[in-house]
Amino acid sequence: MTQDIVIILVMAVPMLLFSVYPGLKLGDYVENKYNVGESAKRRIVILTTILFTLTLSSLLYYL
């Protein structure tokens, strides 16, 4: 179990390259649509990037 988590986290590092763009696009969309502040936009971008990265790396590991 622990070994699986470590492998997923190691594979998450290269997945950051593919995850930054969707996070930035979602942050821009939310900023324009809902008129959120800059700090909320940063939180959305970071959270989206981390979630998308972990999702991609876990899908790559388990498929």
User: pLDDT tens digits for 9-49?
Assistant: 999 999 999 899 999 999 999 999 999 999 999 999 999 99
Helix, strand, or coil (residue 34) = helix
Has residue 1 got a pLDDT over 90?
A: no
Choice between 1 and 9, residue whose per-residue pLDDT is larger: 9
Instruction: Say if residues 18 and 57 touch (Cβ distance below 8 Å).
Output: no
Instruction: Say if residues 23 and 46 touch (Cβ distance below 8 Å).
Output: yes
- Predicted TM-score of the model (pTM): 0.87
DSSP letter for 14, please: H
Distance of alpha carbon 50 from alpha carbon 33, whole angstroms: 22
Alpha helices in 1-63 (DSSP H): 2-34, 38-62
- For position 8, what pLDDT does the model report? 93
